[in-house]
Amino acid sequence: MGGFSILSLLCLLTFLCPFIHSLAEPLESFSFRSSEYSNISYVKDSGICETVDGVGQYSGYINVGADNHLWFWFFESRNDPSTDPFVLWLNGGPGCSSMIGLFTESGPCTVNSDGTTTTLNPYSWNNYSNILYLDQPFGAGFSMGPTLANSSAAATYAWTAFQVLFTSDEFSQYKDRQFVLATESYGARFGPVFINYFNSQNELIDNGDLDGVKVVVSSLMISDGKHDPLINFQSLITFAQDAPGYGPLDNSSVISKITNAFDDTCSGLLLDCYSTDPTESSSADKCNKAITTCTTDVMDPAVGDRDPDYLLAIKGSSEAIPSTHYATFIRRDEVQQAIGAKLLTDDPSFDQCDDPTHAAFSNQEKLGGRFYRSSRSLQMLDSVFSSG
């Protein structure tokens, strides 16, 4: 595959600039195409969010089966869309919408506090890349389909989505570009599983055993990844002791308290979780107890009164980021009409984080010891590294 790299990102700040786009302005007519051959239903150049002249965008659904539809929003590069890399952005959860990343982290705009206007982001990732935000698994955001229970099942639908995209007139130009899979949080599991599945499918294509388009991922970016709880909770203590660039985040009393809690109870409960047979009914209960205890006894005291998503701000303060103004914006009828959310249904439902998906993953993958087990979680990353 050539030159594979993994970048672990600690944080990403999205900045604002004083260029306002308001939906109070008349909406332009939009282009729509739904084809049984392309299996894409979309709106082109809606004028929503990306307001830089000449920068193209598509938003709509990738139809990956009967009644199975993955919502996407794609933005061309502001620099050179004909040569710049292709980026796939996935939020975590599992079951959380990638619109979170679009509007609060890396996308072309942010939503203002009025919930009706946007502000151009001059630091958007599409300054130098063509970026696709994909809501997956089904249930996340506007995506519609069966509730999935593990990352392997989600990978098969992601593969199908790219078979549709890379054989379409609209997106085939990107199939041979540098492909970066960027993700965060639970995406630390999605990313390696997806890439390993893509690689196995590519090998079948190379061997003549599968007819399809290869999907070659060259780089994986993981921000604040949930690789392994034992490592995550231990690193939280290390971070609280000396946050790079900021120094200690907690006093010695708190550090001592959370260190003792980790050593005395948290780590032992997590190891018990790892050792369980995921097929046993008690497995999920043991793992749930471990995560709940570690969160209460280690994470919560370490965070204190800070906002867990933005440690520089006090919880509940106006400084806290990311804001949820985008959720108000994207649920507006005129916005949904403009971006194509209504192409397949008159009453689309936007779910920022889908509870049934989270519960299904918890029962089969997340809390069952199967994926929380260190050897399993990190083996997937090791396999990605070894793929070359």
First to last CA, the chain: 6
Within 10 angstroms of residue 285's Cβ, the number of other Cβ atoms is 13
- Strands 20-22 and 31-34 come out as unpaired
Mean pLDDT of all residues in the chain? 84
Q: Are residues 258 and 222 in the same domain?
A: no
Q: Can you spell out the DSSP letters for 40-104?
A: EEEEE---SS--STT--EEEEEEEEETTEEEEEEEE--SS-TTTS-EEEEE--TTTB-THHHIII
Q: Are residues 214 and 278 in the same domain?
A: no
Could you tell me the CATH number of the domain that includes residue 57?
3.40.50.1820
The answer to whether position 127 is within a domain reads yes
Q: Are residues 153 and 79 in the same domain?
A: yes
Residue 180 has pLDDT above 70, yes or no: yes
Task: State both tokens at 319.
Answer: 């400084």
Q: Are residues 213 and 97 in the same domain?
A: yes
Report pLDDT digits (tens) over 338-357: 999 999 999 999 989 999 99
Residue with tokens 């090791």: 382
Which of 291, 317, 343 is the last residue before a domain boundary? Answer: 317
125 backbone dihedrals φ, ψ, rounded to 5°: -65, -20
The answer to whether position 383 is within a domain reads no
The answer to whether position 140 is within a domain reads yes
- Strands 306-307 and 5-9 come out as unpaired
The answer to whether position 362 is within a domain reads no
Domain count, the chain: 2
Residue with tokens 């959370």: 258
Q: Are residues 37 and 178 in the same domain?
A: yes
Residue with tokens 């199967």: 370
Q: Are residues 59 and 93 in the same domain?
A: yes
Residue 168 binned pLDDT confidence (cut-offs 50, 70, 90): very high
Of the candidates 129, 140, 154, the one whose C-alpha atom is nearest the C-alpha of residue 64 is 154
Torsion of CA 73, 26, 103, 51, to 10 degrees: 80
Taking residues 279-299, what's their average pLDDT?
83
3-state secondary structure of 20: strand
The answer to whether position 372 is within a domain reads no
Range of the domain at 300: 230-317
DSSP state at residue 21: E
Alpha-carbon gap, residue 332 to 329, rounded angstroms = 6
The answer to whether position 133 is within a domain reads yes
Whether residue 99 contacts residue 326, with contact meaning beta carbons closer than 8 Å, is answered with: yes
Q: Are residues 21 and 73 in the same domain?
A: yes
Taking residues 283-303, what's their average pLDDT?
89
The answer to whether position 375 is within a domain reads no
The model's pTM is: 0.83
The answer to whether position 298 is within a domain reads yes
Report pLDDT digits (tens) over 92-150: 989 999 999 999 999 999 999 899 999 999 999 999 999 999 999 999 999 999 999 88
Residue 292 has pLDDT above 60, yes or no: yes
Q: Are residues 104 and 115 in the same domain?
A: yes
Rounded to a whole number, what is the largest CA-CA distance in the chain?
Answer: 64
Q: Are residues 137 and 35 in the same domain?
A: yes
Which of 262, 295, 317 is the last residue before a domain boundary? Answer: 317
Q: Are residues 56 and 198 in the same domain?
A: yes
Report pLDDT digits (tens) over 251-267: 999 999 999 999 999 99
Q: Is 295 left (phi over 0), alpha (psi -120 to 50) or beta?
A: alpha
Q: Are residues 302 and 341 in the same domain?
A: no
Q: Are residues 327 and 181 in the same domain?
A: yes
Sign (positive/negative) of CA torsion 23, 327, 223, 154?
negative
